[in-house]
Amino acid sequence: MSLIIDVHGHYTTAPAALGAWRDLQVAGLKDPSKTPKASDLKISDDDIRETIESNQLKLMKQRGSDLTIFSPRASFMAHHIGDFETSSTWAAICNELCFRVSQLFPDHFIPAAMLPQSPGADPKTCIPELVKCVEQYGNVGINLNPDPSGGHWTSPPLSDRHWYPIYEKMVEYDIPAMIHVSTSCNACFHTTGAHYLNADTTAFMQCLTSDLFKDFPTLKFLIPHGGGAVPYHWGRFRGLAQELKKPLLQEHLLKNIFFDTCVYHQPGIDLLTTVIPVDNILFASEMIGAVRGVDPETGFNYDDTKRYIEASTVLTSEQKHQVYEGNARRVFTRLDAALKKKGL
C-alpha cells in the first residue's frame, strides 16, 4: 500500500487577510505611508484550520491522497513587484504561513519555500530565507522562479553562474527545486495557460543546451505541469541534444530532472508515462490550483490526477508505487527522513 504523496500543492486558499495585507504592501510602493508592518497581519490558527479543512484537506480525503508538499501560492509570489525588500518581507510571511499549516496538520502537509527573488537582485540575497526555512521550518524543497521579471525573461538562463549560490545551498541541504514561475505581467502570456508551460519547456531546454549538471551532479530540478511541452516533443529534444553533441538525454539530464503529474486528462498522463522513464515521474495535482472545474467528459475534476494514475494501463502496480511514493522519497530526501522519523 503506497503513501500517496502529492509533491505540488500551493496555499491558494489562504485567509483573505493575506491578500489584503499584500494590497497594502503594493500600495505602499507609491505611498510609503500606507506600507504595513509584517506584524499588522493577523491570521489565527482557527483561520488557517478553516481554510485548509474546508478546501485542500477535504479534497485530499475525498480523492485519496495522504501528504502534500505545500508551498505559497505561485501566482502570489509576484517577484516583479517592488524590490528585494518587498519580496523578502512577502516571502517570509508566506513561508511562515505554510509552516504553520504543517504544524497544525503534520500528518498531511510538509512545507516547501518560496524565495525572495527580485529582478536584477543577486540570488545570494535569497540564502538567509532558504536557510531559515530548511533549518527552522523543516522545509523539504524550494520553488525557484527562473523569470522574476514576470514574463519578460530578463534573468540569465538557469545554466548561468548567476544562479550558482542557490544551487550550492541546494546541494548542501540536498533539497530539490521546483522550477515555477509566478504571475505573468506580459499580456502576450496568460499566466497559467502559457507562461507556466512556456517556463517548464524553457527551463528544460536551458539545461539541455548546457553542462550544468557536470558542475552540480547531485542537483535536482522538478519541472511541474508534466514538463510543459517536453514529453510531447521528446523526439525534438533528443534530436536537438544530438545536434549539439550532447550525451543521450538519459545520461545528460534524467539523473537530475524530474516531472510531475499535473496533467489534466488521461491521454496526457498516458503519454507522459510512456515517454518519460517512470523513475523520473512524481505524483502531483496542484489542487486547488489553476484548473478547478469538472471535466464534462468524465464528470470528475480535471485536477483529480490520482484517477488518471489508477486508470493507467501503461503503469504496473509497482510503477504506480514509484510514482505515488517511491520517487518522491528518493528526490525529496528530507521528506523521506521526516517520514522515517514517524515510522513511515
Residues annotated catalytic, as ranges: 286
What's phi and psi for 8, nearest 5 deg? -140, 90
With beta carbons less than 8 A apart as the criterion, state whether 111 and 139 touch: yes
The H or E element spanning position 222 is strand 221-223
Look-up of cell digits 505541469 = 225
Indicate the angle between helix axes 84-104 and 16-27, nearest 10 degrees: 170
210 three-state secondary structure: coil
Residues contacting 107, CB < 8 A, separation 6+: 66, 67
- Surface-to-core class of residue 130, CB atoms within 10 Å of its CB (0-12 exposed, 13-18 middle, 19+ buried): buried
The DSSP result for 102-159, as a single string, is HHHSTTTEEE-EE----TT--GGGGHHHHHHHHHTT----EEE-S-TTSSS--SPPTT
Phi/psi for 186 (5° steps) reads: -105, 120
Taking each helix axis from N to C end, the angle separating 196-208 and 234-243, rounded to the nearest 10 degrees, works out to: 30
For the chain, the C-alpha Rg in angstroms (whole number) is 19
The Cα 202–Cα 79 span in angstroms is: 18
Q: Is-contact 222 144, C-beta < 8 A?
A: no
